[in-house]
Amino acid sequence: MQNNKTSHKPTDPASASVAPLKLESFLPYRLNLLASEISQALAQAYGERFGISIPEWRVLATLGQFGTITARDICAHSHMHKTTVSRAVATLEKRKLLARKANRNDLREAFLDLSEEGRRIYLDIVPMATAFSETLCRGLSPDETRQLDALIDKLMSQLGQIAPQT
């Protein structure tokens, strides 16, 4: 008697004509894996030194780039979920790495900015992040780096056309 629980053969004849998906060559999986591995490797360096998480770093980086903005703006720029941003902001505020100022026009939201200590950490991490990126791309020629940037831009543009905006 065969154990059907361990059988991996398709039972639907129509599915027999569909080739199995090989994750190791599936572009969305490969890009996700690459992004995750890169993010984790960089996070290990700044996490050990400054004790901040990936979402906290992304909030710091966004504030460092744009200055005073709202959590909603951080969500939009960083593509992080509002809950993730909210938790990161709360942790950074508790550590006094960012300051919150009420929005007088809309009391439901606040303006966020780096504190002096938050700016110091941001300015310490930027060269680490830049060096990490340069080291990662060291095996690429300048032309390959430009091509990679152009291809990522094309994929982002194409994704904007086929994926619903959230």
Q: State the Cα–Cα distance between residues 67 and 26, nearest whole angstrom.
A: 38
Taking the C-alpha atoms of residue 157 and residue 166, their distance in angstroms, rounded to an integer, is 15
129-163 pLDDT per residue, tens: 999 999 999 999 999 999 999 999 999 999 989 97
pTM, to two decimals? 0.81
97 close to 78: Cβ distance less than 8 angstroms: no
Give the pLDDT band of residue 103 (cuts 50, 70, 90): confident
Residue 10 above 80 pLDDT? Answer: no
Domains and CATH numbers, the chain: 40-125 (1.10.10.10)
Query: Contact at 8 Å (CB) between 92 and 64?
Result: no
